[in-house]
Amino acid sequence: MVPQILFVILYTFAFSTFATSAAVGSPSKLWDLLAQAAVDAPVPGNYKGSYLTMQSNDGLVFAANSIVAGFAGVFCDQSYWQRAIASRPESTTKAYMLGGLSWFAIPLVFGTSMGLAARGLVTNPAFPTYPYGLSASQQSAGLAAPAAAVVLLGKGGAAAVLLIVFMAATSAMSAELIACSSIITYDLIGVYVKPLTGAQVVTWSHCIIALLAVWMGVWSIICNYAGIDLGWLYYFQGTICSPAVVSIGLTVCWKRQSRVAALYGTLLGAVCGMVAWFVSCWKVYGTINIPNLSAQYSALASCLTGLVVSGVSVLVLTWLYPDPTDAWAATRAISGSDNVRTDHNLTHKDAAKQIPDAPADADEADDEKKAELDGRVAPVLDEETAAPTSPLDHAALQRTFVRAGWLSIVLTLLVVVVIPMPLYGCDYIYSPKFFAGWVGVGIAWLLLAGCVCILMPLWESRVEIGLIVKGLCGAGRA
């Protein structure tokens, strides 16, 4: 239900801003409000101080920060990797491409409607801080959208924003709890403390999730009291995560990368990124403090330094300290079952006890089951059919990889270079018609995204839904 609720709220905000609201009600009215705002409070670094231009120096720096920080965040987010690796490659590629296209419409339309409306409605008496605009700290805390929602929809708009934030926070929190719990359970306890059985994995996972939830809550309180808001954390994400991007990427794309390079190259990049963070903050802004550390140039210097230094270090260290071990062979040998211990001293009887429905005495098993137990792994079951999976078709995987790579490159060039850069390079302020076209394209994109996220899953599951309905109605019971 989360995508449905999210898109309903987004549609409500978009159509109330550009169609039904008395405060705005149309793209042309919002254009008038923003044109007047450029006269009352012009934007430093924007072409003629306008809010209706793509030529923005701060916007360009923010775009660079967002690309590096977003790229680093995705690469270092264990929840992304878990879902991608656990799914079938052919479905994963399609899902990530459609999901990426659908996601982009959300910040585009939400920013165009609620962000610009918050700026244009400052002169409205219903604005929460009227007659003043939002302070820098309020903007960094993410209060622009709630302020606009109050003017457009009253208390209901504020409640809708709160609901979106609640769903985003709980969804992300649950994914990260599972991801962190898996790392601690499998990669730390299961490797360095003792091998774990399936039951022990479940027990440890539950305990670690509870501890992590408390730990994250405590850190949230600490950050709040220290004056660290969402904007600060957004920029810090690139600072702390960018040094690991190259080593993580090469781990799955280049089997020659050595363990020494992956570890020490990342650490060297992190140290250099931190040094660049503080030095650039001091040189550009004059004082090292919490607000200046989250300033755009400080964040950009640390992101790029960590990314470049770690990338060069990983390549150099791999050349100096090559690792002859085939890490990919060891990765492919990992069992897909939680019911089998990973130690090499597992006996037939132990394995029989841990595999569901296996005989108590392996000697009484048939030849097929014996061969399975001799391999000391349980059969990997497909997550949808609960049947043993067939061997991977590496040629098909390579074709999928090439197709996904080209599609990613084309989309990246369109979104990052082809569309924004000509608008940035020319001295142009959006006309009312151009702005209306921009809004129309964004809303159409959002409607298509809703179809992909809401209707497509229903269509793809139509057979299963039909079987469930028949079962509920008593049909086909025989």
Q: Are residues 149 and 92 in the same domain?
A: yes
Within a domain: residue 449? yes
What is the structure's pLDDT at 1? Answer: 63
Residue 330: the pLDDT is: 65
Same domain, 346 and 427: no
What is the per-residue pLDDT for 11?
A: 93
Per the structure, the complete domain to which residue 142 belongs is given by 1-55+87-153+404-478
Q: What are phi and psi of 388, to 5 degrees?
A: -55, 135
* Dist. CA 32–CA 18, nearest whole Å: 13
Same domain, 354 and 292: no
Is 361 domain-assigned? yes
Q: How crowded is the C-beta side of 109, counted as CA atoms within 13 Å?
A: 28
In tens, the pLDDT along 329-388 reads: 666 665 544 444 444 334 334 444 444 444 444 444 444 444 444 444 444 444 444 444
Which residue, of 327, 350, 366, is where some domain finishes?
Answer: 327
For residue 472 the two structure tokens come to 């509920």
How far is residue 266's CA from residue 262's CA, in Å, rounded to a whole number? 6
Length of the chain: 478
Asked if residue 44 belongs to a domain, the reply is yes
Residue 408, in any domain of the structure: yes
Domain count of the fold of the chain: 3
Distance of CA 53 to the CA centre of its chain: 28
Last residue of a domain, one of 260, 292, 327: 327
CB of 75 closer than 8 Å to CB of 249: yes
The β-bridge partners of 451 are none
- Residue 43 identity: V
Residue 261 in any domain: the answer is: yes
* Other beta carbons within 10 Å of 303: 30
**pLDDT, position 374:** 42
* 121 and 31 inside one domain: yes
Nearest to 306 by CA among 235, 257, 370, 255: 235
Assigned domain for 304 exists = yes
| Residue 409 sits in the same domain as residue 312 | no
pLDDT at position 136, please? 83
Q: Do 102 and 27 belong to one domain?
A: yes
* Tens-place pLDDT, residues 306-320: 999 999 999 999 999
Q: Is 450 exposed, middle or buried (0-12, 13-18, 19+ CB in 10 A)?
A: buried
Find, among 260, 262, 242, 240, the residue nearest to 251 by Cα: 262
Question: What phi, psi does 381 have (nearest 5°)?
Answer: -100, 140
Residues 6 or more apart from 316 whose CB is under 8 A from it?
261, 265
CA-to-CA separations, 366 to 66, 170, 348, 405, in angstroms, rounded: 58, 48, 13, 46
Residue 175 forms part of a structural domain: no
Do residue 263 and residue 315 come from a single domain? yes
Residues of the chain with pLDDT under 70: 1-2, 84, 86-87, 89-90, 326-392, 475-478
| 317 and 356 co-located in one domain | no
Mean pLDDT of the chain: 82
Q: Are residues 290 and 347 in the same domain?
A: no
pTM higher than 0.85 for the full model? no
DSSP secondary structure of 344-396: TT--HHHHHHHSTT--SSGGGS-HHHHHHHHTT-PPPBPTTT-SBPPPP-HHH
Distance (Å, whole) CA 21 – CA 126 = 13
Whether 28 and 123 share a structural domain? yes
Q: Structure tokens of 322?
A: 């090559």
Same domain, residue pair 148 and 11: yes
In a domain, 46, yes or no: yes
Tell me: do 357 and 274 sit in the same domain: no
Question: For residue 131, is the peptide bond before it cis, meaning its omega torsion is within 30 degrees of 0?
Answer: yes
Start-to-end C-alpha separation, the chain = 33
Distance CA 303, CA 63 (A): 13
